[in-house]
Amino acid sequence: MINFQHSLPAPIMTATASSHAKSPRRRLRTVGFTAVIVAGLLLVSTFANVAMNQAERSATAPYGQRVQTSHGALNVVRAPGNGRTGQSIVLLSGLGTPAPALDFAPLVRELGDYDVVVVEGFGYGYSDQPPVERTVENITSELHEALANADVPRPYVLAGHSIAGFYTLAYANRYRNDVAAVIGIDPTVPAARTIHADETGVPTGGINWEGLIATSGLLRWATTLAPSLVEPDGTAYTSRERDQMRKMATWNFGNPSVLDETNRIADNARKVQGMRYPDDVPVLTFVASAKETPADLALHESRLQNVRKHETVTLPGGHYLHWTHAPAMASTINAFLTTNTPGAR
C-alpha cells in the first residue's frame, strides 16, 4: 500500500527548493545582461558624442578675439559697428553660462550706442580651461589683464549677472580708478545667508558627474529631445544663436574650470561678504521679481547705503532678465549712465 501522505510532498518540496535556488541566479544574470547592455550603449553614446563634438566645432565659426593673460587666453567679444565711440560696458556672465557672448546678444544689440565688451571667463565660451584656481582674486586679476591687453578704454562700466556680482564688487574695490559705474543683473548678494566657517572650505576629489553626463552624450540627447533645457526664453534670439548655444552647452558643461568655480562659491562669498562698493561708484541693480523676496531686496539695498548714486529696479520674470527685458534694461542703463557718469561718455 502506497502512503501518499509521505510520498507526495517530497517531490513538491524538492521542486520548490530548486526553483528558489535558481531564482537569485536568474536575477543576477538579468542584472548582469542589463548592465552589459547599458554599458555598451553608454560606450557607443560616448564615442558618438566625441565625434559629433569634433564635427560641430570644425563646422562652427568661433566668435571673438582670444586675449592672452598670465593664466591663458580669454575670449573677448566686442560689439561691431559702433565705432567704439560710446562708453565701454563690460558684461560678465553668471555661473555655468555656456556661451556668454551669445547669452547677452539681445542686450548687446540694444546697447548699440556703447562699446559693449563681453569677457568670457576661463571655462566659458571659447576661453581656455586652465588648471588655475577660480578664486575671486584670480578671476578679477585675469579680467583686469584681459581688458588692458584688449585695449578697452578706462574707466569702463562693469555689468555682472548672478555670481558675477561677487567679481564686480571685488573688482571695483581692487581697481577703483578703472571703474566708471557698476550694473548688477540680478546679482548674487554675498550676505544672502550666513556663511558658516565649515562651508568655506573648497571640496576636493569626488566624481565630476556633470562632466560624465556631458562626455557620455546624455546631455546631448536630453537637449535634443528638450531644447528648452539649455535654450533661452523669449523671442530675442536668432535661430543661429539658439543652435550654437545648444551646441556649446554640450561642449562646455561640467568642465573643470566651472566645477572649481562652483566649489569655491562659499569661499569666494566669504572673501567679499564684508565689502561695500566705494562711495563714489554709481551702482544700478536690476532684480528679478520672481526670484527676489522682500528680505533679499532689503539686502541689496543695505549693501548700497554708503553709495551716493545708486538705483534698484525690479523687473518681472526670472533670473535671466536680459533674455526677455533687454530693451527696458538698455533704456534704464542709458538714463542711469547719462545722469550719473556724464564725464565718462
Quote the crossing angle between the two packed helices 265-272 and 164-174, to the nearest 10°.
Answer: 40
Question: 28-37, 49-58, 136-145, 219-228 — which is least confidently predicted?
Answer: 28-37
Find out whether 159 and 286 touch, Cβ atoms under 8 Å. no
The one-letter amino acid code at 3 reads N
Q: Which three cell numbers stand for residue 71?
A: 593664466
Please report the pLDDT score of residue 30 as a whole number. 74
Please report the pLDDT score of residue 208 as a whole number. 76
Is residue 72 classed exposed, middle or buried when 0-12, 13-18 and 19+ CB atoms within 10 A define those classes?
Answer: middle
Please report the pLDDT score of residue 42 as a whole number. 62
Q: Please tell me the chain's helix, strand, coil percentages from 3-state DSSP, rounded to the nearest 5.
A: 50, 15, 35
**pLDDT at residue 57 greater than cutoff 80:** no
What sign results for the dihedral spanned by CA atoms 140, 144, 147, 150?
negative
| pLDDT greater at residue 4 or residue 30 | 30
Question: 31-45, 101-115, 134-148, 325-339 — which is least confidently predicted?
Answer: 31-45
C-alpha atoms less than 13 angstroms from C-alpha of 37 in its C-beta half-sphere: 6
Query: How many whole angstroms separate alpha carbon 210 and alpha carbon 142?
Result: 25
pTM score, whole prediction: 0.82
**pLDDT at residue 110 greater than cutoff 90:** yes
Please report the pLDDT score of residue 43 as a whole number. 67
Which of 133, 37, 182, 333 is closest to 325 using CA atoms?
Answer: 333
Confidence grade of residue 80 (pLDDT, cut at 50, 70, 90):
confident
pLDDT tens-digit profile of 181-213?
999 999 998 865 544 444 445 555 667 777 777
DSSP state of 208: -
Please report the pLDDT score of residue 275 as a whole number. 94
pLDDT tens-digit profile of 209-263?
777 777 766 777 777 777 777 889 999 999 999 999 999 998 888 899 999 999 9
Task: Answer left, alpha or beta for residue 84, where phi above 0 means left and psi between -120 and 50 means alpha.
Answer: left
SS3 of 5, please?
helix
pLDDT tens-digit profile of 58-74?
778 899 999 999 999 99
Q: What is the mean pLDDT of the chain?
A: 85
